[in-house]
A and B are shown apart, each in its own frame.
Chain A
Amino acid sequence: MSTNTSDTSDTREAVEATDVSENPSASELAAEVEALREELADLKADVDDDGTSMVIVSTKGTLDMAYPPLILASTAAAFGWDVTVFHTFWGLDILHEEKSKNLKLSAVGNPSMPMPNAVASLPGMDSMATKMMNKKIADNGTATIEELIEVSLDQGVDLQACQMTIDLMDYDEEDFYDGVTTGVGAATALQRMADADVQLLV
């Protein structure tokens, strides 16, 4: 095929032309190698400095949905990762000092519950399911939400409370655990996510 032939010859000419036109001296080559070495060192430093990082967006405030983000966050921090958990909507209740000790399990619409929805929707069922779950948590030696928040903060996890939701829910910044970051929004979360190695929505 003629096109292919002409392509090949073009490439050859181009290579020869480059060789002739540049024909750099040894000192020019040495300088170029030095410049490339510096660039490589900078790039390596960038890669090494940036350890693994993770951002979790936590949107649910039921007892069962409060655990996964906190367990992953505290464990990732133990790995030495840089961790941010951005709490928004009902996820905010996890950081709310009072509400966090009172998170509920929903009996309705939970296929794992050993009862039909018609029964689960009766008054008192949510609190019964919550009581059962809390007992299981205690019996199993599973950490409480409060404990997980403490170890996360101790290890440097950035627990963030979405400012828009704080205002929406009429919460006060004082309502949250000490060490929780307030005054942040979607742009902060996105900026962290763009730089992160792991991003999760819970």
Chain B
Amino acid sequence: MSTEYTVTETLDVQGESCPMPVVKTKGATDDLSEGEVLAVLATDSGSMSDIAGWAETTDGVELLEQEEDGDVFKHYVRKTE
């Protein structure tokens, strides 16, 4: 997938496990303005499903992309409202 967005903030939750990646992602997106993008770096393999599920269920956020880079799971979330 090509990157047609700019990452505004990066959240590093490497080494943390459920539910912290989701809880901290939520906290970090609260601090963003509309249109800004948060990158989340996690090592919890459950975060792929969890952050996707969270983004789908939660108003005002949109999951742009998820990728696996070695041991790191990267998630890109845009604030939409």
Contact = CB atoms under 8 A, between A and B. Distances in A.
A79 B58 contact: yes
A94 B26 CA distance: 24
A141 B16 contact: yes
Interface string B28-50: 00000000000000011000001
Contacts, number: 46
B57 to A, nearest CB: 5
Nearest to B16: A141
B57 A71 contact: no
B59 A80 contact: yes
B17 A78 contact: no
A145 to B, nearest CB: 13
Nearest to A75: B19
A78 B19 contact: yes
Contact of B23 (A140, A141, A142, A151): A151
Interface in A63-89: 71, 74-75, 77-80
Interface of B: 15-20, 22-23, 25-27, 43-44, 50, 54, 57-59
Nearest 8 pairs of A and B residues by beta carbon: A78-B26, A75-B19, A141-B15, A71-B19, A141-B16, A78-B23, A141-B17, A142-B17
